[in-house]
Amino acid sequence: MAVAHGLCSGMGGMRTTGDLVCRMQFAKSMKIADAKKYVADKLEIDPFQLTEENYVRDIREQLGMGVVTGQPNTPKGMPAKMNIEKVLGIEISSCEHFRQQVLRN
Amino acid sequence: MVVDYVTRMGDGRRVRLTKEQIMSDIVAGMSDGVDAACVPELSQDELDHICEVVCDQSKITSIEAGKEVVLSKDAGAIKFNQDNGGSGNAMPCMGRLEGILVYERAFGFDSMELAWMDYSVKPVKSIINCETANYEQMALMTTIPLIMGAMPNLGLYYAPDGPHPNPTDLMREFKIEESMASSEAAAEQLIKDIHYTCQEIEKVGCEGYNFDTVASAGDAEFYATLKGIEDYRKMNPNAYIECGMSAENVLGIHGQMEYDGKILGGMYPHEQVKVVEKAGANIFGAVVNTNTSKSFAWNVARSAVITKECVKTAKIPVHANMGMGVGGIPMCELPPVDITGRAAKILIDIANIDGI
């Protein structure tokens, strides 16, 4: 059922920019239109392109924000999230925790 | 010649209805929602659009490109290994990390949640060290927003599962004051448990928390959750906080529980979202219940009119709860795909929801 919603109505997560738009809803309580505009402005693309897989995939790779396919030598997980922080101009709690652990000594 | 359209009832059964019957159900469902929640009616254009989507005979109906919304999830990846009672698939070998990565990398989900099998605050509290250790490692591998979550589930604090007398049992004995006192005492204990849980998840840089199925035990549970959210927000101004309801209407089991000067019992989504906002949540999960005896057309129109007012009133994003038995989706173990897409399209187009 959740997958049906994803196919019929979802933005597509890391396949596109759905995770970035969702992160702005969580981080700044932005409504969907505002969150899409914010992410599109940061990526310097038209909001309509946010869900265009082929177009956005290359941008994600260039900016090191993680791609959904198993591409070697491209950031995923924590390094990708640290790049997302820079691109979106936000602080992510799990990244901050990681930085504190690395810099502990 | 009368043309029939294949559609469904609120229990998932397929039925054939004429366009006139469908439109009649849409108007009746909307009117029922207007009466129940005291919200404005939909326009004729909006009713016509709902009818058009319900009558569309494609197997799968989806949203227009550019109008997509984001998804958040209750119970996270435990849906893979639960039995059907939790709408799960009972796959014995699917670990939670693998499940979360499948959602992220195979299903294209926009966010995910780490959830414990016994999905309530009280049992999670006792294994919180296991949960935080797991979260810390999973956060290294995942890219999408990853939060933790559980149901406040105040019912677990009442006898026979908890130390407090059951308020409904006391009411049956006409012990009204004792019943209210029991609700209040249980709510205070839940607030402490939410505080403890949030304090522990903060230590591992958890991105946030999903308070799910809120107010399932009525207004005292809603009160405790709002106080818990308020407390968590003070702990971490950057925490991602989602608050999703259990039903469209808060049961006033206590009857006089207040938050921000407002009586919580009897609140509908457009009123619930205001106190959730005030408490400090980022996303509100609105619920409208499905009536299994009525058609999909009736249920989705009712859901659209109630949710529309909620989104209009809200300053924070609203994710419509669209699992089995809510948001116009039939109440059955396998919600049909032909209905899932139609219900979402109607709530996106008419109610302007920000997510599902």
pLDDT in the model for residue B58: 94
In tens, the pLDDT along B56-82 reads: 999 999 999 999 999 999 888 888 888
Q: Binning pLDDT at 50, 70 and 90, where does residue B10 land? A: very high
CB contacts of B282 in chain A (<8 Å) are 25-29
Residue B5 β-bridge partners: B17
Please tell me the pTM assigned to this model. Answer: 0.97
Quick check: A77 and B140 CB within 8 A? yes
Helices A78-88, B128-141: axis angle to 10 degrees equals: 70
Nearest residue in chain B measured CA to CA from A80: B143
In tens, the pLDDT along B131-149 reads: 999 999 999 999 999 999 9
Q: What's the CA gap between B167 and B173, in Å, rounded?
A: 10
Cβ neighbours of residue B9 closer than 8 Å, sequence gap 6 or more: B15, B292, B293, B294, B295, B296, B330
Distances (CA, A) of B10 to B168, B291, B293, B327, B348: 29, 6, 6, 11, 20
pLDDT in the model for residue A105: 62
pLDDT in the model for residue B81: 83
Q: Binning pLDDT at 50, 70 and 90, where does residue B113 land? A: very high
| Angle CA B93–B96–B102, to nearest 5 | 90
Interface size, chain A vs chain B, as Cβ–Cβ contacts under 8 Å: 184
- At residue B245, φ and ψ (nearest 5 deg) are -85, 170
DSSP reduced 3-state for B295: strand
pLDDT in the model for residue A85: 98
Quick check: B207 and A92 CB within 8 A? yes
Distances (CA, A) of B111 to A12, B33, B148: 10, 31, 11
Quick check: A29 and B208 CB within 8 A? no
Name the residue with higher pLDDT: A60 or B88: A60
For residue B171 the two structure tokens come to 């009411």
Nearest residue in chain A measured CA to CA from B353: A32
Instruction: Delimit the domains of chain A by residue range.
Output: 2-102
Task: Kindly provide the ipTM of the predicted complex, given to two decimals.
Answer: 0.97
Per-residue pLDDT averaged across B220-232, rounded?
A: 98
Q: What's the CA gap between B211 and B319, in Å, rounded?
A: 13
CB-nearest to A94 from B205, B322, B323 is B205
Nearest CA of chain B to the CA of A88: how many Å?
13
Lowest mean pLDDT among A22-26, B79-83, B167-171, B237-241: B79-83
Nearest residue in chain A measured CA to CA from B111: A19
Nearest residue in chain A measured CA to CA from B284: A29
Given a cut of 50, the residues of chain A with pLDDT beneath it are none
Cβ neighbours of residue B168 closer than 8 Å, sequence gap 6 or more: B179, B253
Go through the domains of chain B in sequence order and give each one's CATH number.
4-349 (3.20.20)
For residue B131 the two structure tokens come to 């949960």
CB contacts of B340 in chain A (<8 Å) are 1, 4-5, 8
CB contacts of B240 in chain A (<8 Å) are 26-27
Q: What's the CA gap between B337 and B356, in Å, rounded?
A: 15
Prior bond of B167 cis (ω within 30°): no
In tens, the pLDDT along B283-337 reads: 999 999 999 999 999 999 999 999 999 999 999 999 999 999 999 999 998 899 9
**The pLDDT of residue B276 is above 70:** yes
Q: What's the CA gap between A4 and B145, in Å, rounded?
A: 20
CB-nearest to A11 from B70, B73, B324 is B70
